Amino acid sequence: MGHSADSGLWRVSLRRGSVTREAEMQQRALVTGAGARLGRAMALCLAQREFDVAIHYATSKEGAEEVAEEIRALGRKAELVQADLLDLDQAEPLVDRAAERLGGPLNGLINNASIFEYDTIETATRESWDRHMLTNLRVPFILTQSFAKQAPKCTKDRDGQLIARSIVVNMVDQRVKKLTPEFMTYSLAKHGLWTLTQTAAQALAPDIRVNAIGPGTTLRGHRQSQEHFEGQRSKSLLQRGPNVSDVTAALGYYLDAPAVTGQLICVDGGQHLTWQTRDVQGVE
* Active site members: 186, 190
Contact assessment for residue 107 and residue 139, using Cβ atoms and an 8 Å cutoff: no
Report the alpha-carbon distance of residue 247 to residue 227 in Å, rounded.
22
Report the alpha-carbon distance of residue 62 to residue 77 in Å, rounded.
18
In sequence order, which residues have a C-beta less than 8 Å from that of residue 156 and are 6 or more positions away? 162, 163
Q: How far apart are the first and last CA of the chain?
A: 53
- The H or E element spanning position 226 is helix 226-234
Q: How many CA atoms lie within 13 A of 67 on its CB side?
A: 33
Beta strands in 8-143 (DSSP E): 10-15, 18-23, 27-31, 51-57, 78-82, 108-111
In sequence order, which residues have a C-beta less than 8 Å from that of residue 202 and are 6 or more positions away? 262
Contact assessment for residue 168 and residue 139, using Cβ atoms and an 8 Å cutoff: no
Report the alpha-carbon distance of residue 152 to residue 91 in Å, rounded.
22
Q: How many CB atoms lie within 10 A of CB 184?
A: 19
Report the alpha-carbon distance of residue 55 to residue 231 in Å, rounded.
33
Report the alpha-carbon distance of residue 230 to residue 221 in Å, rounded.
11
The CA-atom distances, in angstroms, between 159 and each of 166, 212, 255, 257, 271 are: 19, 28, 19, 16, 40
